[in-house]
Structure formats: structure tokens, C-alpha cells
Amino acid sequence: MLRTGVPELRPAPDLPAQLRRELPLRRFLYTLQHGPDAGRDLHFIDHGEPAAPVALLLHGNPTWSFLWRKVIAGLPRMRCVAPDLLGFGLSGKPRALADHSVDRHADAIAELVTTLDLRRVVLVAQDWGGPIGAAVGARLPDRFAGVVLANTSVLVPKHPRGTWFHRFARVPVIADLVFRGLGFPQGALWIAQGDRASIKGAVAAAYRWPLRRLADRAGPLALARMVPSSAAHPSIPALRRAEAWIRGFTGPMALVWGERDPILGKALRRHVEAFPAATVTRTQAGHFLQEEVPDEIAAAVRDVARRAGLASD
């Protein structure tokens, strides 16, 4: 049953049997109404009591809301809203790389937050979910009461370069063949894990499934190229606005990190320095730490909600 009378909101399509068993959560589609992405669908999980404190869970590259299922299981007293970014999961899939930008992704999520009238939200973000979520915060500052960052980066580097992964994504022709033709990196997520067995078998297949068609695979390459390669990169202005919002955020914050993450493991230090009031949970997980330490993330969300006056643990 839909939660609101919004005509642009409707039930999500069914999933294959194995995925249904892995993701037994309420899911919906929302058709965007504004901006250049009007008419495209956002798929999202909306699980929990409508009046409960809200956790907005944002994934990054190249995953989808499936990433948050174990964390959601640890938040039975919260309303968990976990959208798929455009280009990922069951959301609409723009095929042009130029259709992906920090601002367009943030505009889409902000529209969903406004449409669902989510208030006093705890932002929970990993990978690109961090800067995109902070950009949503800059648009809707009165909607957010707490922040949990998990292996992400909301700070613009002084000398942007990106990792080997991001530099490889900029190699002409070859990167396009590997990302689109071979389904990289969604077919190799286990490489970035502390426990490589944490993404295998049916779980690995669940991450590959939404991008099984070659024509739908622009998103992973586009988001890899959204990472700044220089101070003149087109993502920089939006990232600086997002950083300004989160640096000025005065609500409770937590950092939950997988230090065995080969991409962002070392980013914890600069985030601890930037946010000295944040609680810090260090783990031996990898990049997709939701698969390895979901209980630690859920505990941090509950604690931030408690400190924000939203709920008791």
C-alpha cells in the first residue's frame, strides 16, 4: 500500500525469486517531475513505520539500494528510505555520460525527499552517497538532523587526482570497453573488501543484476569520471558547495570506516580532522562495509538519532 496520495508514486516492479528473498522490503517508484531528468523513475526502499524517525541511506558507485538491506534490518524502529541513484538499481538509466553530475543526482534525491516530506532526517551515506547527500543537505538544510558517513569523501582534495580506478576510467576507448562491455566494476566488488567472501555467489549476482544489459551501464563509468582529476574539473563547484554545508552542519555526526578499503580507507584521517566532534568507529572491513559490518553502521545511526533527539536506542 502506498504511503501518500502522490500520483507519481507507484509500486516497484517485481524482482527475481532469489532477489525477493534477499530484499523483502517495501519498494516504490517515483517519477521525477522537474528539471532535465523529469519523466525518469527513481526506485527506492521505504521500509518502517511512516511516523518513525527517518534514515536516508545513499549508496554510491556501482551499487544500489540492495547494499543497505542488512543495515535496515538493524533499524527496526526507524523509517529507512534508500533510493537508487539514476543509472543504478531499478531507477531510470540515462545512457549519456553527460547526464550524470553531482547537481543532477542531488536534485533528483532532493525532489524525492521533498515529495515524501521527509523531515528531521539522519543522512547515512557511503561512496558517492556522501557528496551527493551533502549536496542534498545544501539544498534542504532544514530537513537534516544527523549524519553518518561510511567510507565516503565529503572533502574536496587540495590537489584532486583520484585513485588508479578513477584515472583508469578516463582512458579513452579502453575504459569504455571495460566498464560497459565487461561490466566493470560491479562484477569485481569483492576485490575492494576486507573479507572477500562477503560479496560472492548470490550476493555478487544481486549487484550485477540491475546492470546486466550493456546499454544500461553508463552509470558506473560516469560516476568514476565525476571524481575530480584537477581543480578545473566540472564537479568541483558542486562538491565545494556540498562540503561547505557539511562543514557547517551542527547536528550529531558519526564516522564508520572500513580501514581495509583500498579506495577510501586512508580518507578517514582527514575526515576525523575535519569533524572532531564526530564519533568514530574503525573496522577491518573494506569499501562496501555494509556487507561486512552492518551492525556497526546501524548502531551509529541509532546513536546519532538518539543524540539528535529523534529516538532512543
- The 10s digit of each residue's pLDDT in 105-144 is 999 999 999 999 999 999 999 999 999 999 999 999 999 9
Q: Tell the burial category of 154 from Cβ atoms under 10 Å away from its Cβ (0-12, 13-18, 19+).
A: buried
Residue 221: name the closest of 174, 267, 263, 261 by CA. 174
Which pairs from 18-21 meet CB under 8 Å and 24+ separation? 18/202, 18/205, 18/206, 19/66, 19/206, 19/209
Q: Is residue 74 part of a domain?
A: yes
Q: CA-to-CA distance for 68 and 150, rounded, in angstroms?
A: 12
Q: Is residue 313 part of a domain?
A: no
DSSP 54-96: EEEEE--TT--GGGGHHHHHT-TTSEEEEEPPTTSTTS----S
- pLDDT at site 223: 98
Q: Is residue 192 part of a domain?
A: no
Active site residue 287: yes
Q: Is residue 193 part of a domain?
A: no
pLDDT of 232 strictly over 80: yes
pLDDT digits (tens, 9 = 90+) for 176-210: 999 999 999 999 999 999 999 999 999 999 999 99
Write out the residue range of the structural domain in which residue 120 sits: 9-157+234-307
pLDDT digits (tens, 9 = 90+) for 139-159: 999 999 999 999 999 999 989
Active site residue 41: no
Q: What percentage of the chain carries pLDDT values higher than 70?
A: 97
Active site residue 127: yes
Q: Give the chain's domain count.
A: 1
Residue 207: name the closest of 69, 81, 312, 74 by CA. 69
List 166, 261, 271, 303, catalytic entry? 261
Q: Is residue 270 part of a domain?
A: yes
Q: How confident is the model at residue 6 (pLDDT cuts 50, 70, 90)?
A: confident
Mean pLDDT of the chain: 96
- pLDDT at site 1: 39
Residue 148: name the closest of 54, 57, 255, 68 by CA. 255
- pLDDT at site 289: 98
Q: Which three cell numbers stand for residue 239?
A: 562538491
- pLDDT at site 312: 56
Q: What percentage of the chain carries pLDDT values higher than 90?
A: 94
Spatial strand order in the sheet of 121-127 = 9-11, 27-31, 41-47, 79-83, 54-58, 121-127, 144-152, 253-258, 279-283
Q: Is residue 100 part of a domain?
A: yes
List 127, 166, 271, 303, catalytic entry? 127
Q: Which residues, other chains included, contact 164 with Cβ-Cβ below 8 Å and sequence gap of 6+?
A: none
What is the model's pTM?
A: 0.96
The CATH number of residue 41's host domain is 3.40.50.1820
Q: Is residue 66 part of a domain?
A: yes
- pLDDT at site 313: 61
| Residue for grid cell 529523534 | 310
Residue 118: name the closest of 22, 46, 16, 58 by CA. 46
List 59, 103, 287, 303, catalytic entry? 287
* DSSP β-bridge partners for residue 253: 147
Q: How confident is the model at residue 13 (pLDDT cuts 50, 70, 90)?
A: very high
Whole-number CA gyration radius for the chain: 18
Q: Is residue 271 part of a domain?
A: yes
pLDDT of 14 strictly over 80: yes
pLDDT of 3 strictly over 80: no
